[in-house]
Amino acid sequence: MRKPSKFRVQAINDEILAKLSLKNRYNFINSNLMSILTQEEFNFLKKVQKFCLKFEKDNKITHGPEEDIYDWIPIFGAEGYITRQHAFECIDLNYEEYGFTADFLRILALDIFDPQFAMSGGATVICINPIYEHHENMPIRLDALKQLVTGKTPGCLLITEPERGSDAVHMLTTCEEQDDGSFILNGEKIYNTNAPKAKWAVAYATAEKNNGNTMAQFLINTEWDGWHCERVGIPWVPKLYLGKEHLENLRVPKEYVLGGVGKGREYLFEGLVPERVAIAMRGISECWGALSHAFIYSNLRKQFDQEILKFQGVGFLLTDLWAKTTNLTLAMLKYCEVYDEKMKKYGGELPQTISQSMVANASQFKYQAALLSKKVCYECANLMGGAGLCDNTLMHDYLNISRIQEIIGGSRQIQQYIMSINLRRMFRSLETFES
């Protein structure tokens, strides 16, 4: 919990501020999930929560503006809490709890601890996944992968360009293949989370500008010549470092080419499914973070000599937000369960028909979780009155971070566009079936 400092005048009384502790917020969430999760899942959630509680206490974390969330990464990495999407046997980590369900629970615990920290971890994960998929057992790639997964450094992903955002497949950043199989990259990227702090970047470029068929995927060490990075300020997430990069004759040796010319577009779409699902998981976690604050606050805060929860205007709004969040959580858990089962059944390679429907599901979840996070975080802050808007608690962070969910990982309109393409495809396949 934040402690008042000379920059943060205490607005909330001592009793309520103490009750808004991380422990109590976790307890609220656990009461909601204990009957839904299996015993193993619940144990894993509690294990991550216990680590966060101890870390917060031992390091006297206040979540105030003076703290650098990037300092925490190595400690969480050493514990195996950067990602649990995979077991990571290829780098000898062999995590016992892994898959989408485990990662959802990990995200839930971390996001309640600190939402900006959880988001920075998400950006490292989208750098990890392409290396995991395309390391081809090459020691250089496995070494970079291990550094990222164990928190030795954050990572970043470079898709977006100043002139190519939603239209990501018509890139302007070029890659020119050399006789020795290396590539020379030139161009500009922007809004790349973690980039000014990251040692490793995964980047896309194209052999011919605006031609998606000639895209390629690269692993870049940001210490190489030709990497120039400035920090882009995003005031709603002031603790995150986002980059604008100028790649100037940046040479990528052959061993670092994850996907050659022609492979880039397929690899980009492959990475977008887990990215969008993870954004949806964070959106749901933000809802729980905001709800847990409003739940505790409205049960303690009195006006007109009554706890404000007892007024229908407060209590019924809170129940509406609670029901919507619970339902989306249940849907996400079901999706994770099915995904994990299928990944095991098919040995990590999903058949085309299943992975196609996963693309639509990822957009559906990302679209709805982002909308819900925006609504729940705003309304919970609103239910807390001035206390929801001051800087004594993490509500302020939830309110802000919930407003960028619709843009990251593809905007609301782009998710709708993807879903409508899927509806069209489904209709066509029904027509074929009929005839």
Ligand X SMILES: Cc1cc2nc3c(=O)[nH]c(=O)nc-3n(C[C@H](O)[C@H](O)[C@H](O)COP(=O)(O)OP(=O)(O)OC[C@H]3O[C@@H](n4cnc5c(N)ncnc54)[C@H](O)[C@@H]3O)c2cc1C
Binding site for ligand X (CB under 6 A): 123, 156-160, 165-166, 191-193, 234, 237, 242, 404, 407-408, 410-411, 413-414, 417
Please say which residue, 388 or 410, places its beta carbon nearer to ligand X: 410
Q: Is 133 exposed, middle or buried (0-12, 13-18, 19+ CB in 10 A)?
A: middle
Please say which residue, 38 or 166, places its beta carbon nearer to ligand X: 166
Distance of closest approach, residue 75 Cβ to ligand X, in angstroms: 23
Please say which residue, 299 or 400, places its beta carbon nearer to ligand X: 400
- Where do we find the tokens 């369960």? 337
Q: Which two tokens stand for residue 124?
A: 């490292």
Distance of closest approach, residue 419 Cβ to ligand X, in angstroms: 12
Please say which residue, 95 or 417, places its beta carbon nearer to ligand X: 417
Distance of closest approach, residue 115 Cβ to ligand X, in angstroms: 12
Q: What does the DSSP 8-state code read for residue 161?
A: B
Residues 268, 276: contact at Cβ < 8 Å?
no
Distance of closest approach, residue 70 Cβ to ligand X, in angstroms: 15
Please say which residue, 309 or 370, places its beta carbon nearer to ligand X: 370
Please say which residue, 55 or 191, places its beta carbon nearer to ligand X: 191
Kind and range of the H or E run holding 276: helix 264-300
Nearby residues of 223 by Cβ (< 8 Å), 6 or more positions away: 199
Distance of closest approach, residue 189 Cβ to ligand X, in angstroms: 7
CA-nearest of 400, 423, 419 to 410 is 419
Distance of closest approach, residue 301 Cβ to ligand X, in angstroms: 32
| Beta bridge pairs of residue 228 | 246
Please say which residue, 275 or 379, places its beta carbon nearer to ligand X: 275
Distance of closest approach, residue 411 Cβ to ligand X, in angstroms: 3
Please say which residue, 182 or 400, places its beta carbon nearer to ligand X: 400
Kind and range of the H or E run holding 181: none
Distance of closest approach, residue 100 Cβ to ligand X, in angstroms: 20
CA-nearest of 101, 84, 85 to 40 is 101
Q: What does the DSSP 8-state code read for residue 304?
A: T
Please say which residue, 52 or 123, places its beta carbon nearer to ligand X: 123
Distance of closest approach, residue 16 Cβ to ligand X, in angstroms: 31
Distance of closest approach, residue 175 Cβ to ligand X, in angstroms: 16
Q: What share of the chain is helix, strand, coil (3-state, %, to 5)?
A: 55, 15, 30
Please say which residue, 99 or 154, places its beta carbon nearer to ligand X: 154
Determine the angle formed by the axes of helices 22-33 and 39-58, rounding to 10 degrees: 170
Query: Distance (Å, rounded) from C-alpha 123 to C-alpha 201?
Result: 10
Q: What does the DSSP 8-state code read for residue 8?
A: B
Pairing label, strands 257-259, 242-252 = unpaired
Residue 378 phi/psi, 5-degree rounding, is -65, -50
Residues 115, 58: contact at Cβ < 8 Å?
no
| CA distances to 27, 97, 216 from 31, in Å | 6, 22, 47
Cα dihedral: 115, 289, 414, 205 (round 10): 20
Please say which residue, 90 or 404, places its beta carbon nearer to ligand X: 404
Residue nearest to ligand X (CB): 165
Residues 279, 122: contact at Cβ < 8 Å?
yes
Distance of closest approach, residue 165 Cβ to ligand X, in angstroms: 2
Q: Identify each DSSP E strand in 195-256 by its residue range.
A: 200-206, 215-221, 227-232, 242-252
